[in-house]
Structure 1
Amino acid sequence: MGEATTCWALIPIKPPGQGKSRLSGALDAQVRSRLVEAMLKRVADAARASPAIQRVCLLSDPELRCAAPLAVLNDAGGGLNTALEAAMATLPQPAPDRIVVIAADLPQLSPQDLTMLATVSPRTIAIAPDRHGMGTNAISLPITAAQRFRFQFGTQSFIAHRHEADRLGYSVETMLSDGLEKDIDEPADLPDAEVCLQEAL
């Protein structure tokens, strides 16, 4: 595998109170909010502990305050895909050689998962699908691809992102691990967030 000279991690996060509505049948709003914060901290800590990641940023409202002292890139609105494309066009300079967009709800994520994503070959886009093989929990892009990439987060985003990589002429590597696959969307997923959930209760 190749090595990127510099790699940043970018974690999109919704404003407080707007995340994990599908868990409302199992957790009240206050616990959901604390769970979101605990999972974000776990993801950010994993990214900061990876020797292949030089900078960790959030994509959110610039007024966001979180426990981890992270740079916040402005979410320009219009939905996640539009906000990501705007962020790629306005990254602080000097921009990195590679950027990893990683979901904030991966409570089993490890530094090794981030290192795996950051160290693919320069002409490769790495995609980590969710546990169902349908969504995308992380995507690693060379910066030259990131600035032209049409993000497709949403239903069937894994295959859509593969097609987009093909359109741009990049090879695709699928990244699989428990830490990358196990996002928390439904009440049935909560056992995978046991440690974070205990912190939230």
Structure 2
Amino acid sequence: MTTWVVIPAKTTSTAKGRLAGALSAYDRNRLAARMLRTAIDAASEAVGAGRVAIVGWAPADIDADILVIAEPSGGLNAALDHARQVLAAEGATRIVSLAADLPQVIAADVLALTELPPSCAGIAPDRHGTGTNALSLPLPAAMNFAYHYGPGSCERHLAEAARIGLAMRRIERGALARDIDEPADLDDARGLFLRQHG
């Protein structure tokens, strides 16, 4: 089985706008960059840097083995669909999409998304149980799976799996649930700051 991990990434200057009331632009940029690095490191340790792809913006100092895929227009769902097409052509038999804002994620969390039966998909909900922080899709069974990131994505992704007859397993791990969207989430990322926030 050839598993790839795809991390969609915005430029740090546009990431985490909802934290503007709690963090300066400097701290938001630094936090976004450090969370992206954490996700890259966890994915690289789990599957090897040669099986990690970033779709969208990538920092200049990433490992040369990491594949950078240009982001098409159309937002996150279109970007992940494009990445799936690219990686399927590279021989991927499983694609894990991993959020770039998981400050506590480690390799073991990523491995939990890869170690599924060949015909089974996996989903890691956010802390509220409504969003999706990671998806693990087997190929070619999930080539026609429609990504539905956005509000209420967890339920929509479960429904999409049912639509195409794909078994879906929930992956309940603390670090995969703890994304950083709102100021109330920031305690989970405190260890990543160069300067402590207020």
Contact 1:107 1:193 in 2 (8 A): yes
TM-score, length basis structure 1: 0.90
Deviation at 1:180, TM superposition (A): 0.3
How many residues were matched structurally? Answer: 195
Aligned to 2:2: 6
Contact 1:75 1:83 in 2 (8 A): yes
Instruction: Identify which of 56, 62, 67 aligns with 2:61.
Output: 67
Point out where structure 2 has 5 or more consecutive residues left out of the alignment: none
Work out the CA distance in 2 between the residues paired with 1:200 and 1:90.
Answer: 40
Deviation at 1:194, TM superposition (A): 1.2
Instruction: Identify which of 90, 93, 96 aligns with 1:94.
Output: 90
Deviation at 1:122, TM superposition (A): 1.0
* Higher alpha-carbon deviation: 112-121 or 81-90: 81-90
Aligned to 1:34: 30
Instruction: Identify which of 97, 100, 107 aligns with 1:104.
Output: 100
Deviation at 1:84, TM superposition (A): 1.3
Aligned to 1:153: 149
Over 3 Å counting, the alpha-carbon distance change for 1:173 and 1:52 in structure 2 is farther
Point out where structure 1 has 5 or more consecutive residues left out of the alignment: none
Over 3 Å counting, the alpha-carbon distance change for 1:51 and 1:74 in structure 2 is closer
Q: SS in structure 1 opposite 2:136?
A: strand
* Higher alpha-carbon deviation: 50-59 or 142-151: 50-59
CA RMSD of aligned residues (A): 1.9
Aligned to 1:138: 134
Work out the CA distance in 1 between the residues paired with 2:147 and 2:174.
Answer: 24
Over 3 Å counting, the alpha-carbon distance change for 1:132 and 1:41 in structure 2 is same
TM-score, length basis structure 2: 0.92
Q: SS in structure 1 opposite 2:155?
A: helix
Work out the CA distance in 2 between the residues paired with 1:94 and 1:102.
Answer: 19
Over 3 Å counting, the alpha-carbon distance change for 1:119 and 1:182 in structure 2 is same
- Percent of counterpart pairs with the same letter? 40
Over 3 Å counting, the alpha-carbon distance change for 1:151 and 1:51 in structure 2 is closer
Work out the CA distance in 1 between the residues paired with 2:32 and 2:43.
Answer: 17
